[in-house]
A and B are shown apart, each in its own frame.
Chain A
Amino acid sequence: MMSTSLPSRKLFDQDWKRVSFWGSICALSQVFICLVGLPAELNRRILIESTLSLGYLFIIWVPLVFGYVVSKMVELEGVENPKPGAAELLSGAITGLLGGLGLVVLMLGIDNFDLRDPLLNWNPKLLRLLTFENSIGFGSMIWLLVGVGLGVFGASLHQMTTRIRKMVAYAIFGLFTLAVLEDVIDDLSEGLRLEWLSDMIYAKRGGITVTSTIVIAVVLAALPLLTRGKVKEAVSRYRSSDNPAEQQRNSIVLFALVAVVFLVLPWFLGGIINELLANVGLFLLLALGLNIVVGLAGLLDLGYVAFFAVGGYTTAVFTSPNSPWFSPETHFGISLLVVVVMATLAGLLIGAPVIRMRGDYLAIVTLGFGEIIRLLFLSDWLKPYLGGSQGITNIPGIDLGPWEVRGADPRSVFYMVLAFCVLAIYVSWRLQGSRIGRAWMAIREDESVAEVMGINTVNSKLMAFVVGAVLASFSGAVLAAKVGSVFPKSFEILVSIIILVVVIVGGMGSITGVMVGSLVLIGILGGPRQPGLLQEFQNYKLLIYGALLVFMMLKRPEGLVPTARRTRELHQEEYLQDAWLGDDDSEQQEEAGERL
């Protein structure tokens, strides 16, 4: 290898085409975000007192990201790369500047033309927001400066040392998390009688106060300096302990810790947060079921909501006194047995016809089944039995002797959901390593090979459908008891898609991934009808879910918390290449050894 490094590029030695391309994309995205109405709608949520709202955040992340992208250099192996320098910073600045220009043009446009007829958000409200209730000149100056600043900042991320980059990342993500979790921390500190804590961090009208922002940012940035990778070391030590007994002890301790946290936490939380956690749990249950169907067996079931609906409606028919046709008014426990039977039947009924189809046909046909079931629930035909669009109301809570699980008491619902989730996690975990679980994974990877190896693919796939269906129906049953009513409207195709996003973002086939995915997505953005921590997202949830799905598929198809096997499958070529290179190395070593 050469020891000399190439000098960094000259300041104006730019790839102008590339810079202007990314700059105009940056401008277009910012204008698009403004016109879709994100800033105006999200402006209500303040993140940092009197400085930054969620709405503005949604505009300013764009130049940062594009500044980062535009100044990224293609790393070529075996070739000396020029050192990043001022030229990269300049290209970032230009990108940000072009983005700011886009906003300036938008402001001038809103001021001079009236396009409100088709474009809903082409209105003075947006203009006021963009100009900070000041003149257009003032607004333009601010946006140009912000664009240049963030573009440079984004570009400079490449040039920081790892440690500084880590500090910056800790500070930014920590602050963002803290701002998002405002409600939770408020709630928690009230429950723990630590009101002074939340009063210190958060301002009265929402958002972190400016002083605590600075303090927290400094503390967070100092964290990596203080720990110096000790945490990482501990984690890796914990993971890689060779002694099986120790490993077992470790995992028992971890499990006990998590269990205690989840059992104790609800007592310190208010109703809203408990309700939110219960929703997260319901969707986690659904996602764990879909994880078996999609993640393990590789069957893309887009009509998964059908099983959710079966669970909900069966519970409603069996427990509600208002069920129009057949109302035995049984206890929830008995109806749960019926739910299992019905879900198994539904799984077999939907699974059997689709099992022989190609993967993508299977997706569309299950989607069709999901819609057929919803349309049947909605139709006049089944109205005398299932109530049509009015649904079935007045479903009683779950009577558990001394306790009663009712929707009005979110804490009890949370515990109920938690019990089901623990069951589902245990089942998925045990299934994963079992014979059938390995059969599923084999089918996912290559069906014909799996068949040749003696796996009964038809039965295994049906099994996956049935297990997924039963888990989803549990979720439906608890939902029915929680809400107290079921309507066809609650079982739209949207539910299937959102669960699919949860599974994919978390990581297909990974239980931890699915847990993380549902906690982050359902907890922060919310489910199809349930608000999350950022309730302001209500109307834009699906936009973000859609964008997230595309982004994950393009950049990280294995998910946030991937399983090793899935990653290898999806990045087969890179692995093969690495293996090949590795071989090369070992050969060289061998040669060296021989020479010695």
Chain B
Amino acid sequence: MSEILKKKFKKRVSGVDRFLTFIRVLMATLIVVGVLAFIAQQVWPENPFTEWRNPDARGLTGDQFKGLIVSGLSQGAMYGLIALGYSMVYGVLGFINFAHGEVFMVGTMSGWITSEKLHDAGLWESNFILSLFVIIFVAIATSTVTAVITERIAYRPLRNSPRLIPLITSIGVSFFIQNAALGLFGPTSKGYPRLPEWLSKQRSILTVEIAGTKILVMVVAAVSMAGLWYLVERTQTGRAMRAVAEDKEIASLMGINVNRTIVITFGVGGAMAGVGGILWGLLFRSVTHMTGFLPGIKAFTAAVVGGIGNMGGAMAGGVFLGSAESIAPMVILEPLGVPGVSQLKDAVAFTVLVLVLLFKPSGLFGERLSQEDRA
């Protein structure tokens, strides 16, 4: 009896499963070998593996390594802010809002326009803190409005349709917003005005050289995250949001206005994307109509990494992804002898997505979805 069962189960392992196991093992081996090779290269630069794969490697100095981590963290904080929007919308409605990256771009764009105007008016130099508040406010406002309007026009009529239909719609919305921005503002890359010296200069904190801008980015991200946490976990609205995410029908029976809650979810996600947009503007000081595309997909990756529907997870996933894409090329790929690794930054981000979904589809911190969405 047990023999027969065993045979049966043996047969159940299909070729696809074997192939997947093979990929898992292969990727894990590559990562381990890469990291080991990196350590070997740092400790003993003339070791045979390095001589073979990467003879003219110079390794990383401690400062360079710290620099990579810091820039990874600050970018990751930004991805985390965008990821919150994906995560919240997925938690409540169960579909990927592909256009969320464009909501982020709209925030960056409006921040650019406002900062430009403030710069012309002279306020940018004379009172940077005030103008920072103004541009963050404007970006939050425009991003929120964009998110809410798209919800109203494109997603609300599709609430009960099969899952892929709103996803396809959101791809359309994404391309529409992208190209509307192209038509309105033109294809050139737009530069944010120069940041004041006291902010952008390098500072040394705990032996880590870090640009003031990056500190600012991390602080703003942390503050927004704390605000969001308070909203979701401690207020009536937040409770309504969690209830709707759990079960829309029961929530409405409990007297929760589901439509309103969904709009608020979109709005809050949009506001976070707006803050993220300003942080992007401060970090990279340039914006085009394509700005939203890659960060959008990466932020979705971050949301998946952290476990979709899980807000703390989204933030942690963002930080993880940001650090991974800044460190992995130098630490894993370069010691393996891959040339031009800095070009592969985006490829690393996508690989992280594929790997997480292969190894642990529910994310590192577990997803929080209602029963129907998990199916």
Contact = CB atoms under 8 A, between A and B. Distances in A.
A353 interface: yes
A119 B162 CA distance: 39
B180 interface: yes
Contacts of B96: 360, 363-364
Contacts of A168: none
Contacts of B173: 546, 550
B169 A553 contact: yes
Interface in B287-313: 297, 300-301, 304
B354 interface: yes
Contact of B164 (A356, A363, A375): A363
Contacts of B23: 352-353
A546 B354 contact: no
Contact of B185 (A120, A360, A540): A120
B255 interface: no
Given A353-B354, A539-B183, A546 B176 contact: yes
B143 to A, nearest CB: 16
Interface string B94-130: 0110000000000000001100100000000000000
A550 B102 CA distance: 15
B351 interface: yes
Contact of A368 (B164, B343, B354): B354
Nearest to A549: B172
B373 to A, nearest CB: 9
A497 B175 contact: yes
A375 B333 CA distance: 15
Nearest to B157: A554
B158 A553 contact: yes
- Chain B: number of interface residues, binned into ranges: 35 or more
A581 interface: no
Interface in A97-151: 117-121
B146 to A, nearest CB: 13
Nearest to A461: B16
B304 A361 contact: yes
A322 B55 CA distance: 29
A504 interface: yes
B168 A553 contact: yes
Contact of B183 (A36, A302, A550, A570): A36
Contacts of B177: 546
A361 B361 contact: yes
B172 A364 contact: no
A361 B340 contact: no
Contacts of A380: 339-340, 343
B350 A38 contact: no
Interface string B257-292: 000000000000000000000000000000000000
Nearest to B94: A360
Contacts of B346: 371, 375
Contacts of B364: none
A501 B172 CA distance: 9
B178 interface: yes
A547 interface: yes
A504 B338 contact: no
Nearest to B23: A353
B184 interface: yes
A566 to B, nearest CB: 11
Nearest to A120: B186
A352 B175 contact: no
Interface string A554-587: 1001000000000000100000000000000000
B136 interface: no
A38 B113 contact: no
A463 to B, nearest CB: 12
A359 B19 CA distance: 21
A368 B353 contact: yes
A450 interface: no
Nearest to A357: B357
B182 interface: yes
B4 to A, nearest CB: 20
Nearest to B187: A539
B353 A365 contact: yes
A352 B20 contact: yes
Contacts of B340: 379-381, 383
Contact of B168 (A365, A375, A500): A500
Contacts of A557: 161, 165
**Best-buried of A119, A360, A368, A369 by chain B (most CB within 10 Å):** A368
11 contacts: A119-B184, A355-B16, A360-B164, A363-B164, A375-B350, A383-B340, A500-B168, A550-B154, A553-B154, A553-B169, A554-B154
Interface of A: 32, 35-38, 117-121, 298, 300, 302, 352-353, 355-361, 363-365, 367-369, 371-372, 375-376, 378-381, 383, 458, 462, 497, 500-501, 504, 539-540, 542-543, 545-550, 553-554, 557, 570
Interface of B: 14, 16, 19-20, 23, 95-96, 112-113, 116, 153-154, 157-158, 161-169, 171-180, 182-186, 297, 300-301, 304, 338-341, 343-344, 346-347, 350-351, 353-354, 357-358, 361
Give the 8 A-B residue pairs with the shortest CB-CB distance, closest first.
A380-B340, A549-B172, A546-B175, A546-B176, A36-B183, A368-B350, A543-B179, A550-B172
